[in-house]
Amino acid sequence: MAEDLNSHPFKKGAEVEISSNDNGFRGAWYSGTVIKSKNKSNNNHSILVEYKTLMADESGTKPLRETLDVVQLRPLPPREKRDRNYKFSDEVDAYYNDGWWEGVITAVLPGNRYSVFFRATREQLEFNRSELRLHREWVDGKWVPPVEEQVQEVSLSIELKINNKDRFKKGALVEVCSDEDGFQGAWFAATVIEQQPRTSSSWSRDC
């Protein structure tokens, strides 16, 4: 749910996931598109959405449309890594009956398959890894748990920036080692004088 209902991110054309309060559909999320946003009052919004996988007719040619409260919508969750491995008791969403249903891993099976138990329906079914994703909640504009791949990527880029540009500036205090006989394995305190080609270096040793 968005932090401020009056400035929710679900504008016309936005791709979203939709929950339902109807019996038989609780615990599931369905993909859809925002068709229109309406103000019901100063502190409430209704959203006209069109489902991508649920149809309004038996022939399956007319997508179902519904007007829902904004709290029943959330952005599309981040995509999972294709090689993610799940373990016993992991909370997951499984793609089943045209939607993503919340469940828990009850067994890890051969061939990248998993047994999943659905609390809402009291069913236990088997799924391929490609049909699962880590269960996340949209809380105060953030995914919980957070997307760990993005966090790692940011940390790595910061570390590389420090190593490549800022580590050995002129005047920096460092420790240096030597390959000369009698000094191997020893480290000496030194100060960077200037950067030179990798074949040589210039430094002064603190005595």
Which of the listed ranges 17-31, 43-57, 61-75 does the model predict with the highest average pLDDT?
61-75
Sign for the pseudo-dihedral over CA of 203, 168, 206, 186:
negative
User: Where do the CATH 2.30.30 domains begin and end in the chain?
Assistant: 5-75
User: What pLDDT score does 146 carry?
Assistant: 82
Q: Evaluate whether 53 touches 117 at the Cβ level (below 8 Å).
A: no
Residue 33 has pLDDT above 60, yes or no: yes
Q: How many CB atoms lie within 10 A of CB 100?
A: 23
On whether the 5-75 domain is CATH 2.30.30, my answer is: yes
Strand partners, 31: 17
Q: Which helix (H) or strand (E) holds 23?
A: none
User: What pLDDT score does 43 carry?
Assistant: 60
Helices (H), the chain: 148-161
User: What pLDDT score does 81 carry?
Assistant: 82
Spatial separation of the C-alpha atoms in residues 79 and 132, rounded to whole Å = 11
Model confidence, pTM: 0.64
pLDDT-based confidence at residue 3 (cuts at 50, 70, 90): very low
Reported as a single tens digit per residue, the pLDDT across 134-188 is: 999 999 889 998 876 544 444 444 343 444 455 567 777 776 665 555 554 556 6
For 12-21, 25-34, 170-179, which range has the lowest pLDDT when averaged over its residues? 170-179
Spatial separation of the C-alpha atoms in residues 23 and 128, rounded to whole Å = 27
